[in-house]
Amino acid sequence: MSRPSPRPLVLLPALIAGLSALVTAFMAEAQEDPLKWLPPGSRIEATLSEYPARAVIAEQRGGTAGHLARLGELVFRSPLTLGRDAARRGLSCDACHTNGAANTAFMIPGASDRPGNIDLTHREFHFREDDGLDNPVNIPSLRGVRWTAPYGHDGRFPTLRAFSHNVITREFGGPPLEDWLMDALVAWQMEFGFTDRDPARATSAAYRAHCLSCHGDSSVLPGTRFHDIGTGRLVQAPPLFGLAESAPYLHDGSAATVGDAVRAHDGLNLSDETLAVVISDAERLGTVTRRFDPETLSGDLRRLDGFLDLVNQQLLDEDGVRADRIGDMVAMEIGHIYRRFDPAAEDARALVRQWARTLAQVMRTGLDRNYPGARDLLAALRDTIAGDLPRLQEHEPTSLYASAAANIGKGTGQ
């Protein structure tokens, strides 16, 4: 039985027309290069060969993330989550915190003083929050974030929900996220685990005496402690897991190496020999065994198919509005795949454009409350994508996927 309409039927045609117009606009923007809206020299996405390794707690335990978390992955990856300005510029949660790690290459000239840093109150980043100060902060890793409350460099936010709301509404100036999407976004962040790391030997007496209480070790996470180590700002002491993938260091990114970060601590007064031991322990705790998971065409299509399943679930629930909301985000994923093919590969790009058109038709049909018809169209789209794979693979040698494939097995360690 169909669920009752949540709004008067007299308003439904206007709603459908308005949402259909938005679909068309989003489909067009998904195919554009977002860098054209940013200063020259900007870099907002990790290259396909330098995509930080996936570390999802459910998968690390041998299972899979649930439906809510998988929806959260899409929300996390979607520029639409952060508002229209962010969508135009291709900025998303994943752009800064790629796969939950820190995007150490993120750079917006004017708002970044070095890669991996961003001044969140600079006009080049968000003009409405420009405070006239030069105060860039280092992009933090979200690895293991479920265990590291409170959030923010200075611990201003007690929950991930509060932290995420601030990022969306203040740092990016977007509208508040609907509760069902915020639930999903938090669920996905709660799945970020620590990366695989080399088995750590017992830390030295020097490390335990000077570092353990603030930063923990291989078996003990740090408690909540705030310190000014000499940089003029009280900040929360982070765990040291995964340091190899998160340089530069300290809240302002002023330390290029782990050694520089240790030496920046006022009051240690260690001998050169003891300092060397402490730095060695910190570096060892920060090693990872698999740093990158290069992005591939087949991997992108598997992920896309999983996201299309999220649309299908809403169509099964006979909620065309939510299916449309998710479909807008999936359209951006299709746009990513589109832009990874060389413009000269028109045959490949034409195939991907058709996916976007069919998805738009699915969404319109769902908004018309023809749910069986929308599900049939979606099933046909998924079959088409699978059938198009061989033709797309013909164009891989000239695509961005080619460089990623060439780097599989390289640069995967520290």
Q: Which domains does the chain have, with CATH numbers?
A: 1-30+294-414 (1.20.1420), 60-196 (1.10.760.10), 205-285 (no CATH)
Q: Between 14 and 67, where is the model more confident?
A: 67
**Average pLDDT value for residue range 33-58:** 84
pLDDT digits (tens, 9 = 90+) for 98-147: 999 999 999 999 999 999 999 988 888 777 788 888 889 999 999 999 99
Q: What is the CA radius of gyration of the chain?
A: 23
7 pLDDT more than 50: no
298 pLDDT more than 70: yes
**Average pLDDT value for residue range 388-404:** 94
Residue 35: its pLDDT value, please? 61
Q: What is the mean pLDDT of the chain?
A: 88
Q: Which two tokens stand for residue 291?
A: 């740093």
Q: Left if phi > 0, otherwise alpha if psi is -120 to 50, otherwise beta: which for 116?
A: left
**Average pLDDT value for residue range 292-304:** 95
3-state secondary structure of 157: strand
205 pLDDT more than 90: yes
Q: Name which of 59-63, 76-80, 107-111, 330-334 the model is least confident about.
A: 107-111
| Angle between helical axes of 346-367 and 12-30 (0-180°, round to 10) | 160
Q: Name which of 81-85, 152-156, 401-405 the model is least confident about.
A: 401-405
Q: Left if phi > 0, otherwise alpha if psi is -120 to 50, otherwise beta: which for 230?
A: left
The confidence band for 36, taking pLDDT boundaries of 50, 70 and 90, is low
Residue 414: its pLDDT value, please? 43
Q: Between 405 and 59, where is the model more confident?
A: 59
pLDDT digits (tens, 9 = 90+) for 244-266: 999 999 999 999 999 999 999 98
Residue 33: its pLDDT value, please? 62
- Residues 143/194, Cβ–Cβ less than 8 Å: yes
15 pLDDT more than 80: no
71-75, 147-151, 290-294: which is most confident:
71-75
Q: What residues have CB less than 8 Å from 122, skipping those under 6 apart?
A: 110, 111, 130, 134, 136
What stretch of H or E contains 236? strand 235-236
12 pLDDT more than 60: no
Residue 19: its pLDDT value, please? 42
- Residues 242/143, Cβ–Cβ less than 8 Å: yes
- The residue to which tokens 């920060």 are assigned: 286
Nearest to 331 by CA among 299, 297, 365, 357: 357
Residue 30: its pLDDT value, please? 47
- Residues 44/391, Cβ–Cβ less than 8 Å: no
Task: Give the whole-angstrom CA distance, residue 151 versus residue 155.
Answer: 5
Q: Between 26 and 137, where is the model more confident?
A: 137
Q: How many residues does the chain have?
A: 414
Residue 79: its pLDDT value, please? 94
361 pLDDT more than 70: yes
Q: Between 197 and 318, where is the model more confident?
A: 318
Nearest to 246 by CA among 88, 55, 62, 387: 55
DSSP codes of every residue in 113-150: SSTTEE-TTSTTT-GGG--S----EEPPP-TTGGGS-S
pTM: 0.88
Q: Which two tokens stand for residue 101?
A: 């790690």
**Average pLDDT value for residue range 335-347:** 95
